[in-house]
Structure 1
Amino acid sequence: MWEPDGAEGHVGRVGVLLDDGSVPGPVYIDIGSGAHIPSCTDWWLYNGSGRRPLAGRMRAVCACGWSGTTTYPIDWTRVEEDEPHRYGTSGPAKDWQSHTRAMVAQAVPVPEDVACLISQLRQRLDEIEASDILTALRIVGELDSIVETEGSYAAREARRTHTDQEVAAALGGTEKATAARLRRYDSHRYI
């Protein structure tokens, strides 16, 4: 899985396609007796062994539902069974990074002076954490206070004046991740 930087909720991974272009369902892993049979969609499980489907191509997929249009062949003779993560998946990773950059680019821009202040604050906080963790914690508490006050108001106003889809696009995240963030911001007013 690939974690986004600035595109909250847009978690990416390698997806696979069968030779006919279809997306296979999850692989079920029988771990012995019991009613629960876990499933998995890790790309390397679609190697055709046992009763598993054989994937011929890979592509990037995202938790938001986006799928890359560029596909890459899988050479199963080069995939190490015990270390499949060593197989090259940089193509899908780059495609997903382009997708998340596009999501962030569509977001409402942060004013340049504020972006500069945030960057300076992050850098200074990193420096302070290295030498005085209690002071760093105090600073984080001050920032949390701002979020409690301003976040609650902003979350309520955003919900009142915009659709969930508009808010998610403005923040560069998925609707699910954005809704969770707004609930977290708005929950502070009840504490």
Structure 2
Amino acid sequence: MDRALKALGAAHEGSVGVLLADGSEPGPVYFDVGSGPYVPSSTKWHVYDGRYGRPRAAVLRGSCSCGWRGAAEYPLDWTALPADKPLYEVDVDLSGPIADYEAHLSVIREGAAPLPAELTDLLTDLVRVLNGLAVEEPLVALKALADLRYVIAQVGPEAAYELGGHDVPLKVVATALGTSEAAARTYLNDYLHP
């Protein structure tokens, strides 16, 4: 189940994306660390600084692992940026791309199935109590989590089978969960085929 929950969350991981001067989105930058089977790479915005033969970013924009890209572009003024320093050491304003990504997340959250206020309050209280128990009485916290896993194992398959019985499209399930169709499929399959 933990794998499925990670997939749900990973469907909307945000980052600051880049475009090159020709308007293309570059692939990962690979780092030469000598011989060996593993070649590290990165797609973080700051590696596109034009140094050591790397591509040089022309603009920044919001980006999400679901494939969404922000429409707003934030140009990098290379006349004001030092050519001899890595971008992560320079004061670059990332507030625009980050705000765009957060707006994207708001749209995703608004489309998700709303939980009843009573359930939201109950879950909030549960998290607060479990966090306290994890510090004060960790064995009690683990026992409570074991009991919750039992409840999840009982209710999850029932809900997943109901969705299948009503032929609810995967796109609707993904939107309700606030995730991608691939992550929603993994989530449902973990209940249907434990």
Contact 2:112–2:176 (Cα < 8 Å) also in 1: yes
Partner of 2:15: 13
Question: TM-score if structure 1 supplies the norm length?
Answer: 0.84
Contact 1:8–1:178 (Cα < 8 Å) also in 2: no
The percentage of aligned residue pairs carrying the same residue is 35
CA 1:137–1:90 in 2, change beyond 3 Å: closer, same or farther? same
Counterpart residue type for residue 43 of structure 1: W
Partner of 1:133: 138
SS at match of 2:59: strand
Superposed displacement of residue 39, structure 1: 3.5
SS at match of 1:57: strand
- Per-residue CA shift, 1:153-182, capped at 9, x if unaligned? 212332442222111001111222222222
CA distance in 2, matches of 1:175, 1:43: 27
SS at match of 2:12: coil
Superposed displacement of residue 62, structure 1: 0.6
Matched, 1:57 2:56: no
* 2:74 aligned residue (72, 80, 87): 72
Partner of 2:3: none
Contact 1:79–1:87 (Cα < 8 Å) also in 2: no
Q: How many residues align?
A: 184
CA 1:124–1:37 in 2, change beyond 3 Å: closer, same or farther? closer
Partner of 1:32: 34
Superposed displacement of residue 8, structure 1: 5.5
- Per-residue CA shift, 1:107-149, capped at 9, x if unaligned? 1111111111111111122222221011111111111111100
CA 1:70–1:120 in 2, change beyond 3 Å: closer, same or farther? same
CA 1:28–1:129 in 2, change beyond 3 Å: closer, same or farther? closer
CA distance in 2, matches of 1:108, 1:114: 13
Superposed displacement of residue 67, structure 1: 0.3
Matched, 1:121 2:126: yes
CA 1:83–1:25 in 2, change beyond 3 Å: closer, same or farther? closer
Contact 1:44–1:84 (Cα < 8 Å) also in 2: no
Structure 2 counterparts to residues 83-94 of structure 1, below 5 A:
83-84=88-89, 87-94=92-99
Question: TM-score if structure 2 supplies the norm length?
Answer: 0.82
Counterpart residue type for residue 27 of structure 2: G
Superposed displacement of residue 89, structure 1: 1.8
CA 1:59–1:159 in 2, change beyond 3 Å: closer, same or farther? farther
Matched, 1:105 2:107: no
Matched, 1:176 2:182: yes
CA 1:79–1:156 in 2, change beyond 3 Å: closer, same or farther? farther
Q: CA RMSD in A?
A: 2.6
Contact 1:80–1:87 (Cα < 8 Å) also in 2: no
SS at match of 1:13: strand
SS at match of 1:77: coil
Superposed displacement of residue 78, structure 1: 8.8
Contact 2:26–2:55 (Cα < 8 Å) also in 1: yes
Unaligned runs of at least 5 residues, structure 2:
1-5
Counterpart residue type for residue 62 of structure 1: C
